[in-house]
Amino acid sequence: MFQVSDEFFTSLGLIPMPDEFWKESLIEKPDNRQVVCHASAWDFCNGKDFRIKQCTRVTATDLVIVHHEMGHIQYDLLYKDQPYFYREGANPGFHEAVGDTLALSVITPKHLKEIGLLDESIPIDDYETSINFLFSMALNKIAFLPFSYLIDKYRWDIYDGTVDESQYNTHWWRLRKEYQGIKPPNARSEANFDAGAKYHVPANVEYLRYFVSTIIQFQFHRSLCIEAGQYDPLDPKKPLHNCDIYRSKAAGSKLAAGLSMGSSKPWPEVMRVITGQEKMDAYAIREYFKPLEKWLTATNEEMGEIPGWK
């Protein structure tokens, strides 16, 4: 799985994983000791030692996670020659977005068929396949947006004194209901601390980076797909959700030009290099999911459903 990911990066003309990566990374759960299995990528700051720690399982989900973590390492490799102070992402969301941008190509039925992971008999560009694929992606990406937003909102409300410690769990579920439209499956109380079940909360990892990443990865994807000749906004035969930038040196060159800057320039300037614009904008998500949005609108009207919750 890691070799498949490495081959995707190198097919774009990007940097192959160094020998130290293959020697020192922990990519399977060891049998003889306990480890923290939450996947993570590590730059040992000497220009050659980069590692991933992941208790990898052979699943489609973990194939995406592998590309996500390899994206971190690729970013580290691309800016490794910057002065030490600038060896970090243009902003934290950029670092999270790199691997996920490539994963938007990797997870397409077209690419999975290309690398032999999807049965040849399965259609990849008919309407039903597209809607099913986009629905699956929306349950991953769109449903994640309110969650990734509310985690740090929850913490900020605690830090600025908006929420008293007697309301920590109540406030957590208040935000889950308001932004996500969900409630707990059974009664909860202040004897519980459900927010602590999310790794990043007790580990003190700020979470807005993942919200930002979800926005900008679609902007990156759109720009790279146009560069690769895989997407044309005016050509219905080249929809954004079907784009696969695999083997596009042009797309890889554009991505590398931005990422190699590290944090040596303000992030809007890096964004401009990769996308041609300086702002984070959700328009690329709307373009990507446009066929599903039309289908959902029509289906809700047909069934008399009213989207949302009180």
**Which residues form the catalytic set?**
69, 200
| Three-state helix/strand/coil letters over 25-47 | CECCCCCCCCCCCCCEEEECCCC
Q: Residues of 179-198 as b/e, b for ≥16 C-beta within 10 angstroms?
A: ebeeeeeeeeeeebeebeee
In one letter, which amino acid is 222? Answer: R
The DSSP call for residue 53 is: E
| 68 marked among binding-site residues | yes
Tokens encoding 13: 């003309």
Helix (H) or strand (E) holding 190: none
* 3-state DSSP of 140-180: HHCCHHHHHHHHHHHHHHHHCCCCCHHHHHHHHHHHHHHHH
Dihedral pair phi/psi, residue 276, rounded to 5°: 85, 5
- Tell me if 96 is assigned to a ligand binding site: yes
d(CA 35, CA 33): 7
Residue 291: which of 161, 126, 80, 67 has the closest Cα?
A: 126
Query: Which one-letter DSSP state was computed for residue 243?
Result: -
Q: Phi/psi at 190 (nearest 5 deg)?
A: -75, 0
DSSP 185-224: SS---TT--GGGGSTTTTTT---HHHHHHHHHHHHHHHHH
User: Residue 282 carries which side chain, given as an amino acid letter?
Assistant: A
- CB 106 within 8 Å of CB 247: no
d(CA 76, CA 253): 16
- Annotated binding-site ranges for Zn(2+): 68, 72, 96
- Annotated binding-site ranges: 68, 72, 96, 209
- Annotated binding-site ranges for chloride: 209
